[in-house]
Amino acid sequence: MNLSKFGEKFTRKAGITQLMDDLGAAMAGGDMLMLGGGNPAHIPEVQDLFRERMEAILAEPRGFETMIGNYDGSRGNQAFVEALAKLLRETFGWEIGPQNIALTNGAQSGLFYLFNLFAGEMPDGSKKKILFPLTPEYIGYADAGLSDDFFEARRPSIELLEDGQFKYHVDFQALEVGDNIGAMCVSRPTNPTGNVLTGDEIMHLDAIAREKDIPFIIDGAYGTPFPDIIYTDATPIWSSNTVLTMSLSKFGLPNLRTGIVIAREEIASAIADINGVMNLAPGGIGSRMAMEMVRTGEIIRISHEIIKPFYKRKAFQTLELFRQELGPSTGSGPAVPYRIHKPEGALFLWIWFQDLPITSAELYERLKKRSCLVVPGSYFFPGLENEDWQHKHECIRVTYAQDDAVVAEGVKIIADEVRRLFA
Ligand SMILES: Cc1ncc(COP(=O)(O)O)c(C=O)c1O
């Protein structure tokens, strides 16, 4: 088959595609402990509410027929977009209306559009890139550029905390933003680390972006006001220079593929234009299912009262389990030198085994042989692929969204394997 550059780039088995296939194949094999994926939990109370919503739609006159039988506009379901603009205006005082919002088929495709709107080959022939001011960052960004050599990234500074924890920060001293940067992007909370960039860091990044006249993309797939999987105080920030992406996936509807872009008018319109070309319109079942919850503000209550506490309990329980299994990570001669990133949100613990005798990819293979799946940390450095940095190979991402018993058994296996490695 003769493929175009596009064809070659997107069918080349990227590392992440191979890893995802591997995870999928391993899962299909049966009794795997899945601490590797990004699927949100099935939270019974939330699923009951979705079931009720679906039943209510089915009971409305022509509710079912219009839900499945009509295209939405290229910006997405108009009533949903209006209700969301009102909710954000009233909750945060942001000056936005429906003209500032466009829906996409999942946040993933919204981010793909945004990256390629601002980076790649420019009309004057120059090239621009997307900058991640702090890595580790979300694995799903890595191949989302239409051309190669699309991303730049910076290492973080590392703050060592008490209790064997640590926290990444943006290293502003090393953060030069060249004229070749078309936009900056962070996820907040961050997948894979559970980091929540501080308000000061976000304001500082926004100021740099303004000065450079480039957009600042904040990926809020886990953020406020929904699904609100944040365990610290984090003020959501939006300005005419920021582009906030949100999603209904971690609210519990990943299979309905509903992403949301909130941006100044010209950017939101550009997303709608791309939607028109790529999809005609985004799928509308997710927005239909969540519409009433957005209109009444229930979506915020459900996130705050059910979803956040659900994951918070699991995060700290899993942290405790690691401590029980591995012993205190500081103090005199811990058996295994490890630190855990301060869990501030999202669905993951990020564990750093300092001076790990093998790479995290090899550790992944060993754990897989013992029916426990994690994700090796080296995948989470998009833009930093060519940088030789030992830290990239010393970390793993552990998802705690699965049932408690599965997580507990997985933690035992991970701890046992690394204890043997360090013995
Ligand atoms: C940080 C981050 N951004 C975006 C996405 C994409 O989400 P969606 O399901 O809305 O495409 C994910 C999914 O895991 C994510 O973790």
Read off the pLDDT of residues 233-264 as tens digits, 9 standing for 90 and up.
Answer: 988 889 999 999 999 999 999 999 999 999 99
Q: Locate 266 and state its tokens.
A: 């010209």
CA 219 to ligand 1 center in whole angstroms:
8
Return the CA Rg of the chain.
Answer: 21
CA 125 to ligand 1 center in whole angstroms:
31
Q: What is the band of 23 on the pLDDT scale with cuts at 50, 70, 90?
A: confident
Read off the pLDDT of residues 93-102 as tens digits, 9 standing for 90 and up.
Answer: 999 999 999 9
Q: What is the band of 327 on the pLDDT scale with cuts at 50, 70, 90?
A: confident
What CATH superfamily classification does 5-45+302-416 receive?
A: Aspartate Aminotransferase, domain 1 (3.90.1150.10)
CA angle 418–422–423, rounded 5-degree value: 110
Q: Is the pLDDT reported for residue 194 higher than 80?
A: yes
Query: Which region among 33-37, 320-324, 358-362 has the lowest average model confidence (pLDDT)?
Result: 33-37
Q: What is the band of 223 on the pLDDT scale with cuts at 50, 70, 90?
A: very high
Q: How far apart are CA 63 and CA 8, in angstroms?
A: 43
Read off the pLDDT of residues 349-389 as tens digits, 9 standing for 90 and up.
Answer: 999 999 999 999 999 999 999 999 999 999 999 999 889 99
318 CB-near residues (< 8 Å, 6+ apart) = 349, 398, 400, 407, 411
DSSP state of 362: H
Q: How far apart are CA 253 and CA 61, in angstroms?
A: 24
Q: Provide the whole-model pTM.
A: 0.96
Kindly give the pairing relationship between strand 181-187 and strand 127-132. parallel
CATH topology for the 63-299 domain: Aspartate Aminotransferase; domain 2 (3.40.640)
Q: Is the pLDDT reported for residue 18 higher than 80?
A: no
Q: Is the pLDDT reported for residue 333 higher than 60?
A: no
In short, whether 107's Cβ falls inside 6 Å of ligand 1 is yes
Q: What is the band of 329 on the pLDDT scale with cuts at 50, 70, 90?
A: low
Q: How far apart are CA 321 and CA 351, in angstroms?
A: 13
Q: What is the band of 317 on the pLDDT scale with cuts at 50, 70, 90?
A: very high
> In the prediction, which pLDDT does 237 show?
87
> In the prediction, which pLDDT does 13 show?
73
Q: How far apart are CA 143 and CA 149, in angstroms?
A: 10
Q: How far apart are CA 416 and CA 325, in angstroms?
A: 8
Determine what percent of the chain falls in helix, strand and coil, rounding each to the nearest 5. 45, 15, 35
Number of Cβ within 10 Å of residue 159's Cβ equals 11
CA 143 to ligand 1 center in whole angstroms:
14
Read off the pLDDT of residues 202-214 as tens digits, 9 standing for 90 and up.
Answer: 999 999 999 999 9
In short, whether 380's Cβ falls inside 6 Å of ligand 1 is no
Residue ranges of the domains in the chain? 5-45+302-416, 63-299
Map tokens 């100021």 to a residue: 207
Map tokens 């209700």 to a residue: 83
Q: Is the pLDDT reported for residue 177 higher than 60?
A: yes
Q: Which of 390, 381, 409, 393 is nearest to 191 (CA)?
A: 381
Distances (CA, A) of 306 to 252, 269, 309, 311: 11, 34, 6, 9
> In the prediction, which pLDDT does 334 show?
58
H or E element in which residue 118 lies: helix 106-118
> In the prediction, which pLDDT does 331 show?
54
Which atom of ligand 1 sits closest to the CA of residue 258? Answer: 10
- Residue type at position 147: S
Q: Locate 63 and state its tokens.
A: 């509710």
> In the prediction, which pLDDT does 409 show?
97
Which atom of ligand 1 sits closest to the CA of residue 254? Answer: 9
DSSP state of 76: B
Q: Locate 61 and state its tokens.
A: 């006159």
Query: Which region among 7-21, 51-65, 75-89, 91-105 has the lowest average model confidence (pLDDT)?
Result: 7-21
CB-count exposure of residue 405 (10 Å: 0-12, 13-18, 19+): exposed
What is the mean predicted confidence (pLDDT) over 76-80?
97
Determine what percent of the chain is predicted with pLDDT higher than 90.
88
Which atom of ligand 1 sits closest to the CA of residue 191? Answer: 1
Which atom of ligand 1 sits closest to the CA of residue 259? Answer: 10
Q: What is the band of 31 on the pLDDT scale with cuts at 50, 70, 90?
A: confident
- Look at ligand 1, atom 2, and give the residue with the nearest C-alpha: 221
Q: What is the mean pLDDT of the chain?
A: 94
> In the prediction, which pLDDT does 330 show?
59
Q: What is the band of 227 on the pLDDT scale with cuts at 50, 70, 90?
A: very high
- Mutating to test ligand 1, I would choose from 137, 191, 251 the residue with most ligand atoms within 8 A of its C-beta, which is 191
66 CB-near residues (< 8 Å, 6+ apart) = none
> In the prediction, which pLDDT does 28 show?
77
H or E element in which residue 420 lies: helix 404-422
Distances (CA, A) of 125 to 58, 87, 178: 53, 42, 17
CA 332 to ligand 1 center in whole angstroms:
40
What is the mean predicted confidence (pLDDT) over 100-115?
98
Determine what percent of the chain is predicted with pLDDT higher than 70.
98
Q: Is the pLDDT reported for residue 332 higher than 60?
A: no
Secondary structure of residue 168 in the 3-state scheme: strand
